[in-house]
Amino acid sequence: MESLVKAIASDIQDVSETDIRTEISGMALRLIFSGVVSLATETAPCVTTISEKPMAFLPARVEARSKNLVPNLHHDNISLSNDQRLSIQYVNGENTLSDIANEIEKHIDKGELNLSANGTPMTAGSETLKKHLPDYVKTLLVFLAGKALLVG
């Protein structure tokens, strides 16, 4: 703050550094108490382990409805594939891994989502789907956690 006070004082000769410091402090407090600026004493609540009912960062879930780039907890933009964009909607803190898999399977059944495992399409009711969909969900969640998109 001192370098800012000195820079302002060099431009405004008739105001003391004490008055400048007081004014800057007052402006900072007004910005904080009006909600324009927020202060945090803890790091963002991102998680690296998968909980029983995982939850993705809400702004990312909202943005994923219409965009491939979503914000993460570090304020970076993360690119999601179309299947990840659809799947992240169910990572809402209410669904278990099995529930998420069931919701994804509904989209596969309707033909809205195409997934494959080792080059074999996961079609509705197939053994490939039953065998590999749980792994897909786990891989998705590990990806989301690694990109700071899961919250505690």
Residue with structure tokens 């909202």? 62
Q: Is the pTM of this model over 0.85?
A: no
In a 13 Å sphere around the CA of 144, the CA atoms on its Cβ side amount to 33
Q: What's the pLDDT score for residue 1?
A: 83
Question: How confident is the model over 70-92, as pLDDT tens digits?
Answer: 999 988 999 999 999 999 999 99
Q: What's the pLDDT score for residue 43?
A: 62
- Pairwise CA distance, residues 54 & 150, whole Å: 7
- Pairwise CA distance, residues 151 & 92, whole Å: 10
Contact (Cβ atoms closer than 8 angstroms) between residue 98 and residue 74 = no
Which has the minimum average pLDDT: 13-22, 24-33, 118-127, 129-138?
Answer: 118-127
Question: How confident is the model over 17-74, as pLDDT tens digits?
Answer: 999 999 999 998 998 888 887 776 666 677 888 999 999 999 999 999 999 999 999 8
